[in-house]
Chains A and B, each alone.
Chain A
Amino acid sequence: MSLVSIKNVSFSYKKKEVFKNLNMDIEDGKWTTIVGSNGTGKTTLTKILTGELTYHGKITLDGCDIKDKYSLVGLLSLEKACLDKLSDEEIKDALNLLKITSSLSDSEKCLIYLNHLLMQNPKVLLIDNLLDEIEFPYKDKIIKRLKKECKNGLTVVNLSQNMEDIQLGDNIIVINNGCNALNITTQDIIHNEKKLKELDMNLPFIIDLSNKLKYYGMVDKPYFNEKELIDAIWK
């Protein structure tokens, strides 16, 4: 069932058209990864879904117009976490809690900001370009936390330029320049390689490797998991 449904949405900045009749459905309670190159409008989409920008067309959340439901949409990004959302008070509390005296790194701020967001009980959590920018141990922590929340019913939407991220989630949507959103599954990715190359997206490492091995006749099909691939090579 779709939770957020985007129908015929158009949006343009003064000179540049970003979306033209965009259609997209985001499934309830699932982890959806939206991938697209730089400049395809990922950040713009988050701004539209959080009410920061006005658009033409129709977006519904849970069947109601999203304009009355912005409070149910949370947005986690490094920029947001670091710039405006944490008050000095909150940072101080966190510092006391963690028993450290120095200032917080950007990644730590992010973790705290995530807590802050989850306390407001959002239905949808958007992650904008975060997992690429945050440091490794924190990235792991954030993913684990979100996986847990996702199991409990939170809809997670990860907007990313990194194809490796698709392995984290259930659904994948590729946005092409401007208008069309391509709903695909991990299985499709193998067959859509050409299309992805056109969009300037690469395949995730493990699929890329197993595709190449398949080309040389060393395995019979692509694998999505390192261990399975290794077992297939050294039977």
Chain B
Amino acid sequence: MEIKVNNLSSTYANQNIFKNICTKFEDHTINFIIGLNRHLFLKILSGDYLEYSGNIAMDNLQIDKESSSETLYKWKKNVGYVSMINTNITVKKLILSNLDKYGYNKDHDKHLNDALKMVHLDKCYLDNYLEELSSGEKKLALMASVLAYNPKIILIDENMLSLDFGHKTNLIKIIRILKNRFHKTIIILSNDTNLIHKLADFIYVIEKNDTIQKFDKYALFTDEKKVKKYHLEVPKVINFSNLVLKNKNVKLGFRDDINDLLKDIYRYAKKW
């Protein structure tokens, strides 16, 4: 589902954070947000923070400062927000509380199992308390608790994807499946440019309090001026291509992953 931000202005601790921001996230895409005050931006999208003027809209639903609790409930049912929480309950209770809240009263066991299966967590985790889990497992459990009630738009907070190699590879697959098979719109905060390069359709940079820019990932990471301006770490694959161009004057294409890069090197090295 498409999500639109119309004329958003907000203050936080007596400061102008956003001023007349307008932007749009397209239907079934994976989007990353980087830049200033992105946490607050995501919180506003989630419906948790309401101190703003302007509105946020999807299909036939719209929220703003004056929205009724009923509208907000509908919004939150459609917009899942994955973020750290500090309560110490069992994984089962965590997922069940979301299921109950958003009207899934039947077949609890099935929903529980499906949610855990999505994130590749074993059933035996259900009775574990969140605090007993490692940070990675906790993040997966929180992800499962949101996927359980099947929201159309999924917001993922910073660092929820900073996981070890195995779990990260899994989550990347899951996020792609969510987009391709279930047509979700996904919005992620992350500063891991290697991850962004792998996964993003679009990158939104909040530049100043009144500007939000939308980029295609190649357009952003291959533009040296922009990379410098936004203090970005160049993804490894692109960095390597840049070094080859600089040192050997060989122009490799900008590739998505290491296997593509390999083919390209093979092609160009032979020519050489």
Residues of chain A whose beta carbon lies under 8 Å from any beta carbon of chain B: 13-16, 36-41, 43, 78, 102-103, 129, 132-137, 139, 161, 163, 200-202, 205-206, 208-209, 212-213, 216, 218, 226-227, 230-231, 233-234
Binding site of A, secondary structure by majority: helix, strand, loop or mixed? Answer: loop
Q: Which residues of B contact A218 (CB under 8 A)?
A: 265-266, 269
Q: Which residues of A contact B158 (CB under 8 A)?
A: 133
Partner among B163, B231, B261 whose Cβ is within 8 Å of the Cβ of A209: B261
Given A202-B165, A226-B240; A129-B135 close (CB under 8 Å): yes
A209-B240, A234-B272 given as contacts; is B13 within 8 A of A103 (CB)? yes
Contact among A43, A134, A212, A227 with B135 in the assembled complex (CB-CB below 8 Å): A43
State in angstroms the CA–CA spacing of A137 and B226 once bound together. Answer: 14
Taking chain B's interface residues, is the majority helix, strand, or loop, or is none over half, making it mixed?
A: helix
Task: Say yes or no for B105: interface residue by CB 8 A criterion.
Answer: no
Chain A residues, CB < 8 A from B237: 205
Q: Which residues of B contact A (CB under 8 A)?
A: 13, 15, 128, 132-137, 158-159, 162-167, 191-193, 231-233, 236-237, 239-240, 243-244, 247-248, 250, 258, 261-262, 265-266, 269, 272
Q: How far is the CA of A206 from the CA of B258 in the complex (A)?
A: 10
> Lowest 4 A-B CB distances belong to which pairs?
A38-B136, A200-B166, A39-B134, A161-B164
Q: Tell me whether A209 and B136 are in contact (CB under 8 A).
A: no
Which residues of the other chain, A, contact B165 by a CB distance below 8 angstroms?
A: 37, 161, 163, 200-202
The listed residue (B167, B243, B262) touching A230 by CB distance below 8 A is: B243
- Tell me if A13 and B132 are in contact (CB < 8 A): yes
User: In the complex the two chains form, is A227's CB within 8 Å of B243's CB?
Assistant: yes
List 27 A-B pairs, Cβ < 8 Å: A16-B132, A37-B136, A38-B134, A38-B135, A38-B136, A38-B167, A41-B134, A43-B134, A43-B135, A102-B15, A129-B135, A135-B231, A137-B231, A161-B164, A161-B165, A200-B165, A200-B166, A208-B258, A209-B240, A209-B261, A212-B262, A216-B262, A218-B266, A230-B248, A234-B250, A234-B269, A234-B272
**Which residues on the B side are within 8 Å of A102 (C-beta)?**
13, 15
**B164 engages A136 (CB within 8 Å):** no
B258 lies within 8 A of A136 (CB)? no
**In whole angstroms, what is the CA distance A35 to B191 when docked?**
21
- Point out the residue from A39, A134, A212, A233 that lies within 8 Å of B137, measured CB to CB: A39
Closest to B243 in A: A226
Tell me the complex Cα distance, A78–B162, Å: 13
Q: Which residue of A lies closest to B127 (CB)?
A: A15
What 12 new A-B contacts, CB under 8 Å, besides A39-B133, A133-B158, A230-B248?
A37-B167, A38-B167, A39-B136, A41-B134, A43-B134, A136-B191, A205-B240, A213-B265, A218-B265, A226-B243, A230-B247, A233-B269
Query: A233 contacts which chain B residues (CB < 8 A)?
Result: 265, 269
B136, A161: Cβ atoms closer than 8 Å: yes
A209 touches B137 (CB 8 A): no
Name the CB-closest residue of A to B15.
A102
The answer to whether A38 and B269 have CB atoms under 8 Å apart is no
- Chain B proximity of A136: nearest CB distance (Å): 4
> In whole angstroms, what is the CA distance A102 to B40 when docked?
14
